[in-house]
Amino acid sequence: MRSLQKHLRGVGLLLRLCSTMATFLVLTLLTLSSVSSPVQAEIFTSIGQMTDLIFAERELVQSLKEYIEAEELKLEAVKSWANKLDMLTHASTSDPEGFLAHPVNAYKLMKRLNTEWSDLESLVLQDPSDGFISNMSVHRQYFPDEEDEKGAAKALLRLQDTYKLDSESFSKGKLPGQRQHSGVRYNAELTVDDCFDMGKLAYNENDHYHSVLWMQQALRQMDSGEDAKTAKADILDYLSYSVYQMGDLPRAIELTRRLVAIDPSHQRAGANLRYFERLLSKELRDRGRSQQEPADERPIQLDTYERPKDYLPEREVYEALCRGEGVKMTPKRRSRLFCRYQDGNRNPRLLLKPMKEEDEWDSPHIVRFLDALSDEEIEKIKELAKPNLARATVRDPNTGVLTVAHYRVSKSAWLEGEDDPVIARVNQRIEDVTGLSVNTAELLQVANYGVGGQYEPHYDFSRRPFDSNLKVDGNRLATYLNYMSDVEAGGATVFPDFGAAIWPRKGTAVFWYNLFRSGEGDYRTRHAACPVLVGSKWVSNKWIHERGQEFRRPCGLTEGDRS
Say how many C-beta atoms besides its own lie within 10 A of residue 502's C-beta. 21
Superfamily holding 146-176+187-287: Tetratricopeptide repeat domain (1.25.40.10)
- State residue 291's pLDDT score: 67
**Of all residues in the chain, what percent carry a pLDDT higher than 70?**
78
- State residue 152's pLDDT score: 86
By CB neighbour count within 10 A (0-12 exposed, 13-18 middle, 19+ buried), where does 540 fall? Answer: buried
- State residue 384's pLDDT score: 96
- State residue 166's pLDDT score: 93
Contact of 356 with 370, CB cutoff 8 Å? yes
Contacts of 333 (CB under 8 A, 6+ apart): 361, 362
Nearest to 329 by CA among 355, 283, 291, 366: 366
Phi, psi dihedral angles at 300 (to 5 degrees): -75, 125
- State residue 44's pLDDT score: 35
- Going by DSSP bridges, is the β-strand pair 402-403/444-449 parallel, antiparallel, or unpaired? unpaired
Between CA 197 and CA 206 the distance in angstroms is 14
- State residue 10's pLDDT score: 47
User: Hey, what's the torsion of the CAs at 492, 493, 499, 500, to 10 degrees?
Assistant: -90
Q: Choose the CATH number for 320-545 among 2.60.120.620, 3.30.70.20, 3.40.50.970, 3.40.250.10.
A: 2.60.120.620
pLDDT in tens, 306-332: 999 988 999 999 999 999 999 999 999
- State residue 285's pLDDT score: 81
Low-confidence stretches of the chain (pLDDT beneath 70): 1-54, 56-61, 63-64, 127-136, 139, 178-186, 290-297, 391-410, 465-469, 558-563
Between CA 507 and CA 176 the distance in angstroms is 24
User: Hey, what's the torsion of the CAs at 294, 295, 296, 299, to 10 degrees?
Assistant: -140
Contact of 126 with 78, CB cutoff 8 Å? no
Q: Show me where the domains of the chain are located.
A: 45-141, 146-176+187-287, 320-545
